[in-house]
Amino acid sequence: MRSGGQPNGPESCLVFVLLCPSHNQLSALPVEVYSLNKLCSMTLQQNRLESLPEELGQLENLTQLDLSNNLLKDLPSSLGRLTSLQKLTLSHNKLSALPDSVAQLKNLKLFDCSNNQLTDISANLSEMLALEQLYLRHNKLRALPKLPAPALKELYVGNNHIEKLEAEQLSCLKAISLLELRDNKIQTLPEQISTLSTLTRLDLTNNDLSTLPASISLLPDLKVLLLEGNPLRGIRRDLLKKGTNELLKYLRGRIKEEPDQAEEQQTAMTLPSQARVNVHSIKTLKLLDYSEKQAADVPEELFDAAADTIVTSVNFSKNQLTSIPPRLAEFVSSLSDINLGFNKLTCCSPDICKFLQLTNIDLSLALYSNSITEQQVGLEQVEGSPIGAGQKERQEETPDYSQVRRSLQGQHIPHLSLGAREGGDREQWGERHTCPLGNSPLEE
């Protein structure tokens, strides 16, 4: 000791970086503990703490805090000042709510609130930009939290009271890899489950599922699908026992069924007959495809599945469309190729000119002999049209494309097809016919 009573040697530089008074009977901590501002890790599990003082916020260098297995009913708002925290464990307490300030924990990667009495999770947790793992098992949640946390990879919400999954809740999980929903009361899965393109493990054990959407088989990275303990109909139990790969193969087979067969054998495995959404094409090929359906309109489910996705190509050819679907405007900044050929378009809004990335557009119409008459499609003879001689005089008006052509000419679209063609069969003319702008058969 020095003469002034001050310690010398290494002891004079001693700094607490770890405090671990766990597995005791502590009901409080001395206030002096909260002045240890160099403290990096504090473990207080298995004590009898009922509350914590606001002074907790002074420990601004904490990276790990374990308060599990105590009697905590609430948390101080100063918790949000612990911005260095990377791991926070609050499991096995009596918490019924979390303070709003918890959203300020910008560096938190693991957050464990299992085995509490939480009934709701605030959406402001989405502000925790580094959060990767969230544990909410064994609470009283009735809905999946809406958590658009950009880095969230693992979400554990088993053993709650969740009865329904909303498409909006699922759409927030942009980076999710593991989703645990076991031991809830979920009765149905929305088709939008197929939008979780990064999902590798889905645990639905012990729910109330009686049906399963076939679109779940379109998840590209799904390796584990757990379904035991559900009253599923339409899937043989021996198939469930064969594992995830066989089950997904079976579901993909149901998607590929011919429409007529699917209508005759509608089960939980088939998608709605008019809404066969090819999520793989949307996510991988950036293609929105609803061609050769002979449909009068394009189902909303198709556009919903492409929400927040960059779509560069659209193929709605060979249908019965009478106008351009208005929801194409959702892709105005990315679309470069639009195929609306072989429909029944009678007008074309100049709004098509808002697609500034457009390089190809096909609005052509084919007349197949013995199938569609000229009166049905409303074409009249136009000078320079390739329609052969000897046809009956046209009685109907030609679709007015002139305004569109004038607008598109200033847009430098390499290929534009507005013409009418006829032939004995489809193969004679091929799948698409486009021509450079300015050389269309309907040139004014």
Per the structure, the complete domain to which residue 131 belongs is given by: 13-264
- Structure tokens of 308? 């927040």
In the chain, % helix, strand, coil (3-state, to 5) comes to 25, 10, 65
Query: What is the β-pairing status of strands 201-203 and 224-226?
Result: parallel
Rg of the chain on CA atoms, in Å: 31
296 pLDDT exceeds 50?
yes
Q: Which residue has the tokens 């160099």?
A: 38
pLDDT at 375: 34
Residue 214 and residue 356 in one domain: no
Q: How far is Cα 290 from Cα 295, in angstroms, rounded to an integer?
A: 9
Instruction: Give the model confidence (pLDDT) of 331-345 as tens digits.
Output: 988 998 898 888 888
Residues 6+ away with beta carbon under 8 Å from 13: none
- Write down which residue in 264, 291, 311 finishes a domain: 264
Separation in Å, CA 303 to CA 171, 318, 345, 397, 414: 14, 18, 20, 32, 27
Chain centre to alpha carbon of residue 245: 22
208 pLDDT exceeds 80?
yes
pLDDT at 412: 54
Q: 409: helix, coil or strand?
A: helix
393 pLDDT exceeds 60?
no
**Per the domain annotation, does 373 fall within a domain?**
yes
Distance, first Cα to last Cα, the chain? 104
Asked if 129 and 150 count as a contact pair (C-beta separation under 8 A), the reply is: yes
Instruction: Give the model confidence (pLDDT) of 432-444 as tens digits.
Output: 344 333 333 333 3
**Per the domain annotation, does 99 fall within a domain?**
yes
366 pLDDT exceeds 70?
no
Residue 248 and residue 313 in one domain: no
CATH code of residue 175: 3.80.10.10
Please tell me what DSSP assigns to residue 442: T
Residue 178 and residue 309 in one domain: no
- Write down which residue in 239, 264, 289 finishes a domain: 264
Which element (helix H / strand E) includes 65?
strand 64-66
Q: How far is Cα 383 from Cα 389, in angstroms, rounded to an integer?
A: 12
Residue 95 and residue 49 in one domain: yes
CATH code of residue 381: 3.80.10
Tell me how many degrees the CA angle 400-404-410 measures, rounded to the nearest 5. Answer: 155
Instruction: Give the model confidence (pLDDT) of 219-243 as tens digits.
Output: 999 999 999 999 988 787 788 888 8
Residue 302 and residue 409 in one domain: yes
Residue 235 and residue 307 in one domain: no
Q: How far is Cα 94 from Cα 110, in angstroms, rounded to an integer?
A: 20
**Per the domain annotation, does 3 fall within a domain?**
no
Instruction: Give the model confidence (pLDDT) of 397-431 as tens digits.
Output: 445 555 555 555 555 556 566 554 444 333 333 33
pLDDT at 270: 32
Residue 18 and residue 128 in one domain: yes
Residue 290 and residue 427 in one domain: yes
Q: How far is Cα 215 from Cα 414, in angstroms, rounded to an integer?
A: 37
The residue-averaged pLDDT of 310-320 equals 90
Q: How far is Cα 387 from Cα 383, in angstroms, rounded to an integer?
A: 10
Asked if 206 and 228 count as a contact pair (C-beta separation under 8 A), the reply is: yes
293 pLDDT exceeds 50?
yes
**Per the domain annotation, does 1 fall within a domain?**
no
Asked if 23 and 46 count as a contact pair (C-beta separation under 8 A), the reply is: yes
Residue 57 and residue 121 in one domain: yes
Instruction: Give the model confidence (pLDDT) of 91-149 as tens digits.
Output: 999 999 999 999 999 999 999 999 999 999 988 888 899 999 999 999 999 999 888 88
The residue-averaged pLDDT of 39-58 equals 93
**Which has more confidence, 274 or 18?**
18
**Per the domain annotation, does 379 fall within a domain?**
yes
Tell me how many degrees the CA angle 387-392-396 measures, rounded to the nearest 5. Answer: 85
Query: What is the β-pairing status of strands 154-156 and 178-180?
Result: parallel
**Per the domain annotation, does 151 fall within a domain?**
yes
Residue 294 and residue 225 in one domain: no
- Structure tokens of 189? 């899965």
Q: In the chain, how many domains are there?
A: 2
197 pLDDT exceeds 80?
yes
Q: How far is Cα 213 from Cα 218, in angstroms, rounded to an integer?
A: 10
**Per the domain annotation, does 424 fall within a domain?**
yes
Q: 402: helix, coil or strand?
A: helix
**Per the domain annotation, does 174 fall within a domain?**
yes
Residue 30 and residue 158 in one domain: yes
- Scanning 156-242, the segments in alpha helix (DSSP H) are 167-171, 237-241
- Write down which residue in 264, 290, 320 finishes a domain: 264
Residue 197 and residue 328 in one domain: no
